[in-house]
Amino acid sequence: MEVDTDSTRTVIRPDISHQPASTRSPRSVVATEAIKNLALCLWEIKKKQQSLEHERDSLVQQLNLAYLQGQMHQFLNDGQDEKGYLINPELTLVRRTGQKQWNYSLSCHEMACKLKEYQRHEQQNGVASYTQGSAFWDIRMDTVNLAM
């Protein structure tokens, strides 16, 4: 198996599509070791994504703090015109407004609670119906196996 580190493309070798159908086993389209390697690669990517997410959150928090303290205006062109802060000719830092966070009255909260209660009642009695979404792959590390 070959993993392209510059992207998320993973290639499984050898390519079974060039094998005659008579020599391919329907049960062993992808070798067990290849599947294990794919899972390990997925785990590594997931760990990197989580690490990058934490790093991104930290950087955004630092930017917000600098903005709130007024430090952004001292060193950068004013970004208030919605064109952003020009960092260099290829990079502009744009501060976008956050999403609206609505606050509702007590009567609205009561109606929402009644609706949820009614929905649970329909689910339990079989009146409500549902559709199943598409299946997807996820990876997790079982801590039980780590002790071995």
- Token pair 């071995």 is found at 148
Note the pLDDT tens digit of each residue in 91-115: 888 888 889 999 999 999 999 999 9
CA distances from 25 to 13, 16, 19, 22, 28 (A): 16, 10, 10, 8, 5
Note the pLDDT tens digit of each residue in 24-42: 555 556 788 899 999 999 9
Note the pLDDT tens digit of each residue in 111-127: 999 999 999 999 999 99
pLDDT at residue 75, as a whole number: 64
C-alpha dihedral sign at 94, 99, 101, 102: positive
Q: How far apart are CA 83 and CA 94, in angstroms?
A: 7
| Within a domain: 69 | yes
Question: Residue type for 81, please?
Answer: D
| Within a domain: 110 | no
| Within a domain: 84 | yes
Domain, as residue range, for 87: 1-95
Residue 40 has a CB neighbour count (10 Å cut-off) of 13
